[in-house]
Amino acid sequence: MENSYHYIDPEFKYTNKNGLLYNLANIKDEKVLLAFESLKVAKRVEELTENPFKILDSHSLLKIHHHLFQDVYEWAGQVRTVNISKNGKPFFNGERFQNGFQYIDTLISEYRNIKKSNRLELAKKLAEILDNVNYLHPFREGNGRTQREFLRLLALEKGLHLNLNPPDDNNVYNRYMKGTIDSDVEILSKLILELIY
């Protein structure tokens, strides 16, 4: 599946001229940075799994991102200051983030009004939240991992378990990617309904 991002970052706020993200470990090799990031973030995901915190509102995305990436990037937990597109499709314009966060707060409120026994409606609303958080894409890096943890914590509020990142499950990964890239809420709803328990 194509994974071609484009960043409008003429001042190199996040990367050097070779496109390597500035990082706290001052790593200069892309493969080493990828391995370092994966290791550090996996440890932080484990911590968050063992000690989950309550989602207050959409700004809890910032708290999750900071927790996951605090060992890797100085800007962990901060919204991006560059605009991003993927495969020619732009994500939310950073100048309007406040509107995007407010809309997600509305969706969270609607989610909280659904009875925990109504898994179909919960799955549909979680898919809608995921679609909008993905379009918002508030971070320069780490949006997917952050949004999956955000959804997992929202499901936990209803006493449900949701793992959108099961190890070595290409079927889940491919459906998740297709649903988020194509903004296909129906695919995401079906996937979440299958995975939620």
| pLDDT score for 158 | 97
Largest separation between any pair of C-alpha atoms in the chain: 52
Q: Is the pLDDT of residue 149 over 50?
A: yes
- Min mean pLDDT across 5-9, 26-30, 39-43, 164-168 is at 5-9
Helices 185-195/119-136 angle, 10° precision: 130
How high does pLDDT run on average in the chain? Answer: 94
| pLDDT score for 45 | 97
What pTM value is reported for the model?
0.94
Q: Is the pLDDT of residue 98 over 60?
A: yes
Q: Is the pLDDT of residue 188 over 50?
A: yes
Closest CA to 8 of 93, 100, 77: 93
| pLDDT score for 3 | 58
Give the pLDDT band of residue 136 (cuts 50, 70, 90): very high
Tell me the pLDDT tens digit for each residue of 35-88.
999 999 999 999 999 999 999 999 999 999 999 999 999 999 999 999 998 888
Quick check: 45 and 145 in contact, CB under 8 A?
yes
Domains of the chain: 5-195 (1.10.3290.10)
Phi-psi region of 100 (alpha: psi -120 to 50; beta: other; left: phi over 0): alpha
Of 17 and 113, the structure prediction assigns the larger pLDDT to 113
Give the pLDDT band of residue 110 (cuts 50, 70, 90): very high
Q: Is the pLDDT of residue 104 over 90?
A: yes
DSSP 109-130: HHHHTS-TT-HHHHHHHHHHHH
